[in-house]
Structure 1
């Protein structure tokens, strides 16, 4: 009953917020505290108790209340950082503020009149300063600090106790990279709660980045996404450890683990949602390339470079490339793994994001592309791509997946090593609705391409030239073809 009562109180506060046309005093702490107290402790409750029509009504009828709600939520996050977010109560407050902002932000972005709200400077409480940081910068700074908060989003290495918690504003986040891998050798201890906390913060970041979705299409160099631009700029002191943490978390993830059958049905995997969020943050930030843009006459300074792209392009050690490639191939091949016991191993479903990330990696780091091509693992990329191309050929909703898969193959086919590797015999037993054949990976490539051209939907026609170009590129290096593949040509 107590839990129902607390949810009822939260709901009453939401109704009160939306029904009062008069602005509610920002200093009425008792009222505002209801929104991030420990009454509600999961994200589903926030989304249920704060329905979309009421957020829109609040935006239209009581805009000052919505503005105050956002301001107070960000203020709470900033205060939590200042206090090092050391207590359980503060951590729960942070999570509730994060959930509330994740819920509300899209409805702010969808209204053109509100889009500048987070980037307008707020009046400073300090009389010596004319204006304070824009709300968006305060929010992003707080999120980044909280992503490296000991005993909240990282496991504390120094047991100082809550009274002597490390100052988050001065912490060296490079010591707290989330996972071993590129640029970090230590494997930090894991905690499911830490993973969940990271995921919630990353989802808020993704929500912030989503502002572009609510705007008309425009060249990114002319109108960059300010949220992404700030996060990936030198102004974010956590840019390097954050990029490394995201990359290593994705590439170190092994969904099968020790291989115990049906373990994914017995235990919740807190890592998979985190990996998916990390992957989405990576591809969104890496897609924000403003380097081609030139500053206009009205601009004093050019748009800052994207440090995430910079860091990605500078990875050069073979062991780092191997770690990344192994991680990508492990996850891409995971849904294809066949076992004697049906559904006994965990299957992940973010192959499209993985392919986009692989494309970005090859695009921005040519050394990685050459490493992939000279590696025997290039076929571990080819087979899942062909599987997904074959599986998606009749589904119009997956045309984007078809495009990225074909473009990756087109990129790889331009290199001799790829064509030579195709002569390796194909012995896998992946469930694909293609004719049975005995032959090489080249046979598989031709058979799948034939399927796409003959049984794919109309929207794939622009890709047919690419498919034929791939065949032309690899044909000089093929030694044999099976009868099945030959009849398809």
Structure 2
């Protein structure tokens, strides 16, 4: 705030709201409240949770008026975007951000809360009539005389404020898409079922129509916030029954217009972009936090339909494409400070806008499903029916297909994820900024894998190993949490279901990672195998072993270090074969061994040697029914003694022997051992028992298994087709709750997950 006096006055006004019924018509009180200079820090510290709950319980009408007035003020400022009102706009944004969670946290069926969100307002709700309004900022609705509910207006007003001239963007030309500004290819992509309207599209919230407007600037010298270069005669394009998925106008995208494709602009995408101007970043952060707060209903009511999210993700949400591409470009176009200049982050760090953009983008993509038209496989259809309630942001994500866009996205993810280890691999400690939002980046990457065009591009055109390396590093990091390991595992499961991914792993690995992995020389297959073996031995999750089985058929050459690690893991689970889940893991590991021997024998002498050294492990797996019964009893006694009987599988019945034999398929490995083991013993004895390991590997390379191995078995690839379910939503909002800058939500009221409040 400007002074301690204004702070005291603000607190006094808030206390009045808690103790006295303030009339909505008391313009003096409300004018002063909105015009007092504030900062986010002071709003959050002064407007305490206890004070908000007191107003909510004792003077609910005041809270309703506060919400209504703030929303109406935002709508006014959008209608009249003069910079003299911007401080007032920020006050409204901060107050709404502060009080919204305390309206959301109580039962959504609460009649008074429902009354606020469903309340219909019109121009009479404005506390300060503004006489000078820009005619181009009129707000259109299907029926201009019908007032709109507050829940819709607050979302639409905030969406417009993200692209308000001189508040969150530069001045701009109101160019729109038409046949003259779009080339033939773009017109074909955007479809041609349009109607032309001579009225330039507005930049104010849909749902609030103001009658009678003037085109004169404010008397106090405020600037008219529209460029004088705009062409009023240029018609806007509106779909008669559908929504265009292109951002309009594209010059408003915050970060340089790499996405959407340069095909959208005749000049090749070189038109002016508002960029990440430092002056606008604080205001953008304030509005992004408000939108994130409005999206946070799943925190408190995970099984109840949200009031705000359907509006925010609707295809009718204003500026939705602009926001999607702005957030996406902000994230994927971000370059960590000091990547070129050591300790450059000391001169300015923009990671806050990166984190905020990730939080909101992930929150929006995690809600609902994309528009149904894309689910029908109509790839070139971009019209979205107004009756379709699908998520517009998921639709936009799934619709990306241009190679330039795919390249930008792949390079962006590569740059951000590799910061995890590159920031530590420096001669000068801390000279490169280390990001603190890898969990959010991984979540966004998971959403991107829904796009088949992106997945195909990263597997076929991009070096996917540039993604594999940071994934493995993040899983092995000492401070990596279980949820981060799980999201990395889900990504790898998804990718290993594709042949191109496994083939690409055979590229040489020459990167130094600051991890505890044993030193090795080999390919990215070795890195992935060592990582999966390390995690599998410490976790009950079978996904690590499934990943090994998926890539095994394509491993051209595995190092001795990685080969020995697989055999150690097989021995580990073989000794626990009667523990829950271990039999299945043993089966997958033997399947991996069979695949390497059957399909990649010639280049895997190290793995063959490891199998021969671990011959006893395979022999112990060749059990009879009596061996199974005895082994189960022995395991039972050990687990009972250790107090871990719950880890024991159910007692083997008559059908268990058949299940065991179907799971443990030893035919391929047994033939390998029966052919080569005696030869290796004979070769070793011919050297008087003194033989170098490399000599044995060279000897194995001279052998052949043609005519020895059985008929090749089918290659089984387990594709991960399931979603991430409830877990991803909990994970996402848990990360947001812990990392958001301000104490927005009361952890004690959250129902999506348990928060340790320290009480």
Global fold match (TM > 0.5): yes
Deviation at 1:130, TM superposition (A): 8.3
Q: 2:470 — aligned with what?
A: 384
Over 3 Å counting, the alpha-carbon distance change for 1:4 and 1:30 in structure 2 is same
Shift of 1:282: 1.6
Deviation at 1:314, TM superposition (A): 1.4
Q: Does 1:264 align with 2:345?
A: yes
1:325-340 correspondence runs (5 A): 325-337=410-422, 338-340=425-427
Counterpart for residue 192 of structure 2: none
Q: Which has the larger radius of gyration?
A: 2
For 2:397 and 2:370, the matched residues in 1 are separated by 15
C-alpha RMSD of matched pairs (Å): 2.8
Separation in 2 of the partners of 1:96 and 1:487? Answer: 63
Q: Which has the higher helix share?
A: 1
State the 1:483 CA deviation. Answer: 2.0
- Report the CA distance between 1:118 and its aligned residue: 4.6
What displacement does 1:29 show? 2.3
Q: Which residue of 2 aligns with 1:254?
A: 335
Between the aligned partners of 1:100 and 1:71, the Cα distance in structure 2 is: 11
The CA deviation at 1:413 is 0.5
Aligned partners of 1:103, 1:126: CA distance in 2, in Å? 25
**Closer, same or farther: CA 350–176 of 1 in aligned 2, 3 Å:** same
Q: How does 1:94-133 map to 2 (within 5 A)?
A: 94-112=89-107, 113=110, 115-122=113-120, 124=122, 132-133=147-148
Q: Give me the whole-angstrom Cα distance separating, in 2, the residues matched to 1:162 and 1:4.
A: 28
Deviation at 1:399, TM superposition (A): 2.6
Say yes or no: does 1:278 pair with 2:276. Answer: no
- Structure 1 residue aligned with 2:501: 418
Per the alignment, residue 166 of structure 1 pairs with 226
- 2:553 paired residue among 466, 476, 487: 476
CA–CA separation in structure 2 for the residues paired with 1:30 and 1:91: 20
User: For 1:365-384, what aligned pairs fall within 5 Å after superposition?
Assistant: 365-384=451-470
Asked if the contact 2:171–2:226 (Cα under 8 Å) also holds between the matched residues in 1, the reply is: no
Alignment CA distance shift 1:172-1:308 (3 Å): closer
| Residue 153 (structure 2) pairs with residue 138 (structure 1) | yes
The one-character-per-residue Cα deviations of 1:30-74 (angstroms, maximum 9, x if unpaired) are: 22234332421x211111111111111111111111111111111
Residues 1:194 and 1:126: Cα distance change in structure 2 (over 3 Å): closer
Residue 175 of structure 1 is matched in structure 2 by 251
Contact 1:121 1:132 in 2 (8 A): no
The gaps in structure 2 that reach 5 residues or longer are 126-142, 175-216, 228-235, 237-246, 263-268, 373-385, 567-759
Structure 1 equivalent of residue 317 of structure 2: 236
> 1:165–1:421: structure 2 CA closer, same or farther, 3 Å change rule?
same
Give the superposition deviation at 1:332.
Answer: 0.8
C-alpha contact (below 8 Å) 1:121/1:131 kept by paired residues: no
Tell me if the contact between 2:464 and 2:501 (Cα under 8 Å) persists in the aligned partners.
Answer: yes
* Alpha-carbon distance between aligned partners in 1 of 2:329 and 2:50, rounded to the nearest angstrom: 40
Length, aligned pairs only? 459
Aligned ranges 1:188-337 → 2 under 5 Å? 188-217=274-303, 223=305, 225-256=306-337, 259-265=340-346, 267-269=347-349, 271-290=350-369, 304-337=389-422
Q: Aligned runs of 1:347-362 on 2, under 5 Å?
A: 347-362=434-449
How much does 1:263 deviate?
Answer: 1.7
SS in 1 for 2:477: helix
Q: Do 1:155 and 1:190's aligned partners in 2 also have CA atoms closer than 8 Å?
A: no
Secondary structure of 2:390 counterpart: coil
Tell me if structure 2 keeps the 8 A contact 1:376–1:421.
no
Aligned partners of 1:253 and 1:145: how far apart in 2? 24
Rounded to whole Å, the distance in 2 between the matches of 1:311 and 1:123 is 32
Q: 1:165 offset after TM fit, Å?
A: 2.2
Deviations 1:222-246 (A, max 9, x none): x3x3422222223223122221111
User: Which stretches in structure 1 are left out of the alignment for 5+ residues?
Assistant: 294-300
Q: Does 1:148 align with 2:163?
A: yes
Question: Which residue in 2 is equivalent to 1:75?
Answer: 72
**Where does residue 27 of structure 2 map in the other structure?**
29
The 2-side partners of 1:352 and 1:195 are apart by 23
Distance 1:429 1:38, change over 3 A: farther
